[in-house]
C-alpha cells in the first residue's frame, strides 16, 4: 500500500511540476525504487476521487464571486490506442479581486473539455451571476443573453488589433487609438488596489468619459488609414459594438479595464508544458 507522502509527492510532481508518471518512475529508478506505471496511474485516479469534494468546494467558492476572469488554452491529450496526441481544451476560471482592495483569497478552478464548443463554458458557469471578464470568444455569447451574466470586455484585446494595424501601416489614426487606450491603462494604475466602494479615487469617474471620444471618432477616421481601412474600420466598429461591456469594465473599480489575472496563469501553463513532454 502506498504511503500518503508518496501519493502526495506523485500528485505534486504531476500537476504542479508537470512531470509525467513515466518520468517520475525513471527518477525513482535511479534510487533503486521501483514504481510501476500501472500502479501509479491507479493511485492518481483514486486520489482524484478522494479529492473531488475539495475540488467541488473550490469551484463553489470561485463561482460565488461577483466577477470572474475566464479563458481557455489548448492542451495535448494522449489518444488511447494510437500513441499520438489530440488537442483538448483547459478552461481557466479565476476569482481575484485583490486589485480592487478585496481581502478574500484568490482562487482558480480548472475544467477540461475535449473541444472548444461553447456548450462547455455554458455548463461550467451554470448558476453563476455577475460579471465575466474574458475575450470576445463567441462561445460566451449565450451566457450574456438573459443578463444574469454581464460581459466585461478586456481592452488589451482591442489594443492588440489596433497595434497590429499600426505596425503594418503607421498612421495618426492608429497612433490616436493606441494613445486613448494607453491613457486608460494609466487611469487604471492610479486606482488599482483601492476598494470598489472607495469614493476617494475620483479618477474612476473619468474612465467612461475618457472612452467616449474613441467611441464616436475612431470609426469615422478610418478613411485615413490607407490599405488597412477595412481592417481598421472592423476593429473600431467592434470596439464601439462592445461599448457597454467595455464601460462595465471601466466604471466600477472592481472590474478592471484589462484582464490580466487569467493571462498569467495561461502563460505559466504554456511555459510549464514545454518541460513536461
What's the CA gap between 172 and 107, in Å, rounded? 42
Other Cβ atoms closer than 10 A to 123: 11
Which pLDDT score is estimated for 191?
Answer: 72
Other Cβ atoms closer than 10 A to 184: 22
Which pLDDT score is estimated for 18?
Answer: 84
Is 56 in contact with 248 (CB distance < 8 Å)? no
**pLDDT average, residue stretch 141-152:** 89
More confident residue, 242 or 98: 98
Res. 31 pLDDT band, cuts 50 70 90: very high
Which pLDDT score is estimated for 76?
Answer: 84
**pLDDT at residue 277 is higher than 50:** no
Res. 224 pLDDT band, cuts 50 70 90: very low
Which pLDDT score is estimated for 27?
Answer: 95
Which pLDDT score is estimated for 114?
Answer: 94
Res. 202 pLDDT band, cuts 50 70 90: very low
Long-range contacts of 135-144 (CB under 8 A, 24+ apart): 135/71, 135/259, 136/238, 136/242, 137/72, 140/70, 142/118
Cα dihedral across residues 74, 268, 49, 19: positive or negative: positive
More confident residue, 221 or 262: 262
**pLDDT average, residue stretch 65-75:** 90
**pLDDT average, residue stretch 190-204:** 60
Least confident of 92-101, 124-133, 209-218: 209-218
**pLDDT at residue 242 is higher than 50:** yes
What's the CA gap between 224 and 55, in Å, rounded? 53
Which pLDDT score is estimated for 56?
Answer: 96
- Whole-number mean pLDDT of the chain? 79
Is 124 in contact with 140 (CB distance < 8 Å)? no
Which pLDDT score is estimated for 228?
Answer: 54
**pLDDT average, residue stretch 116-130:** 94
Amino acid at each position: 500500500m502506498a504511503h500518503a507522502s508518496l501519493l502526495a509527492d506523485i500528485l505534486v510532481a504531476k500537476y504542479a511540476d508537470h512531470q509525467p508518471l513515466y518520468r517520475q518512475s525513471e527518477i525513482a529508478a535511479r534510487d533503486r525504487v521501483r514504481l510501476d506505471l500501472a500502479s501509479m496511474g491507479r493511485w492518481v485516479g483514486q486520489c482524484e476521487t478522494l479529492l473531488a469534494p475539495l475540488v467541488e468546494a473550490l469551484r463553489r467558492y470561485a463561482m460565488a464571486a461577483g466577477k470572474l476572469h475566464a479563458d481557455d488554452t489548448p492542451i495535448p491529450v494522449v489518444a488511447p490506442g494510437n500513441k499520438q496526441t489530440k488537442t483538448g481544451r483547459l478552461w481557466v476560471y479565476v476569482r481575484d479581486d485583490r486589485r480592487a482592495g478585496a481581502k478574500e483569497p484568490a482562487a482558480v478552478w480548472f475544467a477540461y473539455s475535449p473541444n472548444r464548443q461553447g456548450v462547455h463554458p455554458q455548463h461550467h458557469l451554470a448558476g453563476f451571476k455577475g460579471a465575466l471578464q474574458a475575450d470576445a470568444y463567441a462561445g460566451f455569447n449565450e451566457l450574456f443573453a438573459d443578463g444574469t451574466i454581464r460581459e466585461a470586455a478586456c481592452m488589451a484585446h482591442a489594443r492588440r488589433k489596433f497595434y497590429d494595424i499600426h505596425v503594418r501601416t503607421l498612421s495618426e489614426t492608429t497612433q490616436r487609438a493606441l494613445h486613448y487606450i494607453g491613457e486608460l491603462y494609466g487611469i487604471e494604475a492610479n486606482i488599482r488596489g483601492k476598494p470598489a466602494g472607495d469614493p476617494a479615487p475620483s479618477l474612476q469617474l473619468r474612465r467612461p468619459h475618457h472612452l467616449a471620444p474613441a467611441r464616436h471618432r475612431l470609426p469615422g477616421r478610418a478613411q485615413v488609414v490607407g490599405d488597412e481601412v477595412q481592417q481598421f474600420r472592423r476593429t473600431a466598429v467592434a470596439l464601439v459594438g462592445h461599448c457597454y461591456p467595455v464601460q462595465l469594465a471601466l466604471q466600477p473599480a472592481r472590474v478592471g479595464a484589462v484582464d490580466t489575472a487569467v493571462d498569467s496563469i495561461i502563460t505559466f501553463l504554456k511555459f510549464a508544458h514545454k518541460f513536461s513532454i
